[in-house]
Structure 1
Amino acid sequence: MTGAPVLVEHHGDTTTLWLARADRGNALGPDMVDALDGGIDAALAAGARLIALRGQGRNFCTGLDLSDLDAIGDGDLALRILRIELLLQRIHGLPVTTLAIASGRVFGAGADLFAVCDHRIALAGASFAFPGPAFGLVLGTARLAGLVGDTAARQLLLAGQPVEASRALALGLATAVIDADATDGAIGAAHAAATRLDAPTVAALHARTRRADDAGDLAALARSVARPGLKARVEAYRAKVAAARR
């Protein structure tokens, strides 16, 4: 594996952060999380008014990177998950406009990453799932409920099954569904909306329209990862998914 886990592109006052681990489905490992944090720092330092998140390759983000699960213990795994939640909270609270453009599989923490953005564009053929509760993980549930409503959030979390882009749009998880060739136009429209007002006004509006319980979400997540047997639950879930695919 070579190259940076996140590629940062500045185009005027739009910064695009490309998740660049296509060989791993752009799954969120520690290096990816750190690189996204750094990319956000770079975007803000450059005066970005719009920060766009995209994934290289087929999938936007397939969730938590478990490629080295055999080599880590419960504590390291729990810390990785907590760090993802802190990143999600940071993106959700940014004083600038955010945009996610998602293709392919948008699963687990990847679906949570999509959900924290202002503009949430699904490319045709994308699918979304929140399988974390299947191994006892409570990640971003209050934010999801604030986005799609309590009943829909419970249905998504309890079922854990993928929903197609059209269903995500109907629920309010996605704000638009487009074909890939309409991507540039969607970015242009998001940029126009982001820059219609001055930066302090956008920041103030974000602060007043944000509905989140960061401390409560973090506490619920911490309790869920602190339950004994976190790694064993993840391993059992992976084995079940692999068996179903066979």
Structure 2
Amino acid sequence: MSDAPVLAIPHEGWGELVLNRPGRRNALAPDSAAALREGLSTLLAGGARVVLLRGEGGTFCSGLDVDLFQGGAGAAWASDWTGFHRDLHACPAVVICALERYAINAGAALALGSDLMVAGEDAILTVGEAAIGMHAPMNLAWLRLKAPESVAAQLALGAGRMGGADLHRLGLAWALVPDGEVHDHARAAAVRMAGWHAGTLAGIKAALRRPIPEGGDVFGAVQARPGQGGAAPTRIAADRRP
């Protein structure tokens, strides 16, 4: 198998974006963010309507490979990391995360950035930056977009582990399955959804993320399709909850 940090594997109507450092539990390297951007772009250009985001070797992502970031992340990493999350937010394809074993810190941001998360019963997600004196901007962005403040605070301020059952109970995980079935369940979902109408999936996703103008009509806003006065979002915005 390739030693590239990220693999983009195309299939008919869908594709896999694979974190490919299993020997380091898929910890992110300095070139991983740029590789994620390139891989996602490649899959979309190939017509993927669904993207399965997973880790190679039965683990999703253990965060940053701190040994490789000792000299600092650098401007290129910061730009590509933020850029990938913007790409993910604007992505017209449905992104399904296969959360096997754990998603820690930067890995949690990837899991939270997916549209649908399939979590193993013993999987954990940790937004632990507060405990080590670090900011967590991408985790905070996704939590503000997807979770009430009480849930976001439990993860970001509590900096503890949240198990698969709690992720499912709180609505952050779409499906909770036995640990050995995560990959197969997520893959089957990707294959099934890839057979659905591409324009419908993209339109529904865009409508879900389209801001409602202040004083505007939610029923009118969600009816516009991309290209009809309702283009898909291109950047992570501020909290949209009432």
Band the TM-score falls in, shorter-chain normalisation:
0.7 to 0.9
Sequence identity (%) = 32
Q: Give the 5 Å matches for 1:176-191.
A: 176-179=175-178, 180-181=180-181, 183-191=183-191
Residue 164 of structure 1, CA deviation: 1.0
Residue 85 of structure 1, CA deviation: 2.5
Residue 106 of structure 1, CA deviation: 0.7
The separation in 2 between residues aligned to 1:69 and 1:43, in whole angstroms, is 28
Aligned position for 1:154: 153
Q: 1:115 to 1:59 in 2, by over 3 A?
A: same
Aligned position for 2:236: 214
Q: Per the alignment, in what secondary structure is the counterpart of residue 159 of structure 1?
A: coil
Q: 1:131 to 1:82 in 2, by over 3 A?
A: farther
Deviates more, 1:207-216 or 1:116-125: 207-216
Residue 128 of structure 1, CA deviation: 0.6
Aligned position for 1:139: 137
1:51-78 deviation line (CA, Å, top 9, x unaligned): 11111124211112211233x14xx446
The separation in 2 between residues aligned to 1:144 and 1:99, in whole angstroms, is 17
Aligned position for 2:171: 172
Contact residue 30 and residue 69 of structure 2 kept, 8 A: no
Which of 114, 117, 123 is the aligned partner of 1:117? 114
Q: 1:215 to 1:80 in 2, by over 3 A?
A: farther
Q: 1:143 to 1:34 in 2, by over 3 A?
A: same
The separation in 2 between residues aligned to 1:82 and 1:159, in whole angstroms, is 28
Q: 1:123 to 1:205 in 2, by over 3 A?
A: same
- What amino acid does structure 2 have at the position aligned with 1:143? W
Aligned position for 1:51: 51
Residue 185 of structure 1, CA deviation: 4.1
Residue 190 of structure 1, CA deviation: 3.7
TM-score after normalising by structure 1? 0.77
Q: Give the 5 Å matches for 1:183-202.
A: 183-197=183-197, 199-202=198-201
Residue 10 of structure 1, CA deviation: 1.9
- What amino acid does structure 2 have at the position aligned with 1:209? L
Contact residue 97 and residue 194 of structure 1 kept, 8 A: no
Give the aligned CA root-mean-square deviation in angstroms: 2.3
Aligned position for 1:91: 88
Contact residue 52 and residue 186 of structure 2 kept, 8 A: no
- What amino acid does structure 2 have at the position aligned with 1:144? L
Contact residue 27 and residue 61 of structure 2 kept, 8 A: yes
Tell me, which stretches of 5 or more residues in structure 2 are unaligned? 212-234
Residue 194 of structure 1, CA deviation: 4.6
- What amino acid does structure 1 have at the position aligned with 2:157? L
Residue 123 of structure 1, CA deviation: 1.9
Q: 1:34 to 1:182 in 2, by over 3 A?
A: closer
Q: Per the alignment, in what secondary structure is the counterpart of residue 67 of structure 1?
A: helix
Q: Per the alignment, in what secondary structure is the counterpart of residue 207 of structure 1?
A: helix
Aligned position for 2:227: none
Deviates more, 1:82-91 or 1:154-163: 82-91
The separation in 1 between residues aligned to 2:169 and 2:176, in whole angstroms, is 10
Aligned position for 1:238: none
Q: Give the 5 Å matches for 1:12-23.
A: 12-23=12-23
Deviates more, 1:26-35 or 1:155-164: 26-35
Aligned position for 1:36: 36
Aligned position for 1:163: 162
Q: 1:173 to 1:211 in 2, by over 3 A?
A: farther
Q: Per the alignment, in what secondary structure is the counterpart of residue 214 of structure 1?
A: coil
TM-score after normalising by structure 2? 0.78
